Structure 1
Amino acid sequence: MTARPLIPSLVMSLSLLAVPAVAQEASSGSGLALGVRAAYGIPVGDAVEDTSLSKTFGNTVAPQVDLSYFFNRHLSLGGYFQYGIAKPDGCTEDVECSSRVLRFGVDLDYHFAPEGFVSPWLGVGVGYESGSMKVGDDPTLAKLGLQGFDLGHAHFGLDFQLTRSIAVGPYISASLGQYSKLTTQVFEESENSIDVPSDAKSLHVWIQPGVRLQIRL
């Protein structure tokens, strides 16, 4: 056998050997994913002692974005940011009032059947929460702010795999939090911030059903 036919034959053989390795790498499922969610937040419990969370902030309409890294097609770790818009319970037409609830943190999710059309998933995470309420209008505007940790949350959902890269489906989450800092501002006075006393702290829960669209990048 001459050198000329030997070289193309060797190149072809090495190429065929490389194909399974490339295919295995492509099917590993690792990479980034962008998620967009629409959720409805239902508050349970007290913001601080004897102060209902629903009267402080109310139910929220809460869009969320999250960016995750998939280690494989099953396991992902990522960060999220949520901006909730609400109106506190007890507000009347005579009084202008509104509230906002911001939440951000990290999630660890596990997808049970990523290759199937229906893929259930389960996740846990921790984060931070900041809520604010405004009552009245200038110059009689009063503000209240509360900040604290999301001590832990869990969420469960079902993905309908529209394509290999796009999935959409319902989910529900529940988070346990506690506020540790209180900020107030009455009319045009300067803002006042204090730590919530230990005996006034209270645990609260946010329950959020919603829908998520996730795109693998």
Structure 2
Amino acid sequence: MTSRRFIASLVLTFCLGALPAAAQEPSGAGLALGVRGAFGIPVGDAFNDLSLSDTFGTTVAPQVDVSYFFTRQLSLGAYFQYGIAAGPGNECADSVNCTSKVLRFGIDLDYHFRPDGFVSPWVGVGVGYEIGSWEFGEGAENTRLELRGYDLGHAHFGLDLQLTRSIAVGPYISASVGQYDKLSARLGTVFEENDRDIISDHKQLHVWIQPGVRAQFRL
């Protein structure tokens, strides 16, 4: 056997031998889909001296998110949450012509500590945008308030139960700090004002605390 054939045979043998190892040690990179359900607890003021609890009340907040895993530990993703709010003073539950909601969307950076363990703790941080609104009545006689502003930062912590290599389910809790800087309001045909900046003296920080459950599917 010539030296050229020997080297080629050696390289081929090495490559074939490396295939099982490569199959056993995937990088973990790829997309993941998350579905969450949370209960939102408001803390602080919406603006001026109006409390967030009196403005929107508590929320039941389903959420979807799409993440890209750079490794099995680190992911970057985008989320959208639709919070069904109890309404001002929790009155929406008793009114057939009342809707109240808090929409939140943004980006998250998460880190999973033990992605190959059955119990896998994870932490994450992110930023986003928030739109809260409520509306009473119908047609031209309705009353409406909408507040918009940035989610200045949020952090969350969870425990995944790794049911399979691709499916995880578990509890989590998140806390976000936000501030509304835009307001629009309508009081029937008497008053209407759109997209007004909230003056600096009336801006307030508020917090949403959200315990919940997440299911994540790695694609």
Normalising by structure 1, we get a TM-score of: 0.90
Aligned to 1:117: 118
- The amino acid of 2:30's aligned partner reads G
> Deviations along 1:140-199, whole A, 9 cap, x unmatched?
201110000000000000000000000000000000000000011222565522000000
Contact 1:66 1:80 in 2 (8 A): yes
Aligned to 1:67: 66
Q: 5+ unaligned residues in a row in structure 1: which ranges?
A: none
Aligned to 2:28: 29
> Aligned with 2:60: secondary structure?
strand
* Residue identity (%): 67
2:204 aligned with 1:202: yes
User: RMSD across aligned C-alpha pairs, in angstroms?
Assistant: 2.3
Contact 1:63 1:82 in 2 (8 A): yes
Further displaced range: 149-158 or 70-79: 70-79
Contact 1:87 1:97 in 2 (8 A): no
Q: Give, in whole Å, the separation in 2 of the partners of 1:97 and 1:198.
A: 30
Aligned to 2:167: 166
- The amino acid of 2:205's aligned partner reads L
Contact 1:144 1:182 in 2 (8 A): yes
2:104 aligned with 1:103: yes
- The amino acid of 1:204's aligned partner reads H
Aligned to 1:192: 194
Aligned to 1:19: 19
Runs of 4+ in 1 over 6 A off after TM superposition: 5-8
- The amino acid of 2:173's aligned partner reads I
With over 3 angstroms needed to count, the CA separation of the structure-2 counterparts of 1:89 and 1:37, relative to structure 1, is same
Normalising by structure 2, we get a TM-score of: 0.89
Q: Give, in whole Å, the separation in 2 of the partners of 1:51 and 1:95.
A: 24
Q: Give, in whole Å, the separation in 1 of the partners of 2:67 and 2:95.
A: 44
- The amino acid of 1:77's aligned partner reads L
| 1:129-140 superposed matches below 5 A | 129-140=130-141
